[in-house]
Amino acid sequence: MIIRRRKYLIDASFQMRFILVFVIISLLGSLAAIIVFNYYAMKELDGLMWSIHIRAQSTGEIFKPLFIKINIVSFVLVSVLLTVMALWMIRKASGPVYRMSQDVRKAAKGDLTVNISLRHGDQFKETAQDLDSMMKELRGKFKNINDHYMRISELLPSIGQAENNASVLPHIENIEKELKKFNTGTTGSSE
């Protein structure tokens, strides 16, 4: 059975822009190297046409040093541009991840009031929305548990009276039902 991922952490349009920028910078670098090489090659040929004596045996001897210099310069420039662009893309993606991880850490410490949201234009918006939905569900479940706990706390002083024992039992059952909605990896005493 082949499992294919359905949701992507990074938006497909972001991935395409990322790849497209790399391709465009590479193509522009190659084009610039060709233009610069042709310019200097023609300049070199013009200079040789007016010289009295050509010491070179072939055109390769004339153009090889020029070709090497221009390719080294264009390689360095394209590498710098690609590195700057890659760092910018990494920074653009790492900011939202950092904000989401900070919010998740707060929630892990017990602050369920955290709203996980990102700025307009940030990547990982869908992931942030999924995390925020999870936080809302957890808040609702813990509110239900807390409401039942508060009701039991109100009834505890009068627990010795038989009519109140029957009213406490549904609240305990509701707390147990709410707690069973959580998969903690441990088995309870009632299982």
Q: Quick check: 152 pLDDT over 60? A: yes
Same domain as 86, residue 12: yes
* pLDDT for the residue numbered 190: 42
Same domain for 2 and 84, yes or no, is yes
Instruction: Provide the residue range defining the domain that includes 168.
Output: 137-191
130 domain-assigned = no
Whole-number Å distance between alpha carbons of 40 and 64: 12
User: Which tens digit of pLDDT belongs to each residue from 103-135?
Assistant: 988 888 888 888 888 888 777 888 888 888 988
Instruction: Judge if 14 and 91 occupy the same domain.
Output: yes
Copy the structure tokens of residue 48.
């040789």
Do 18 and 85 share a domain, yes or no? yes
Q: How many domains does the chain have?
A: 2
Mean pLDDT across 160-188: 67
Distance CA 179, CA 17 (A): 45
Q: What is the pLDDT of residue 191?
A: 39
Which H helix or E strand runs over 76? Answer: helix 59-108
**pTM score above 0.85:** no
Residue 129 lies in a domain: no
Q: Is residue 143 domain-shared with residue 83, that is, in the same domain?
A: no
**pLDDT by residue (tens digit) across 16-63?**
777 888 888 888 888 888 888 888 877 777 776 666 566 666 667 777
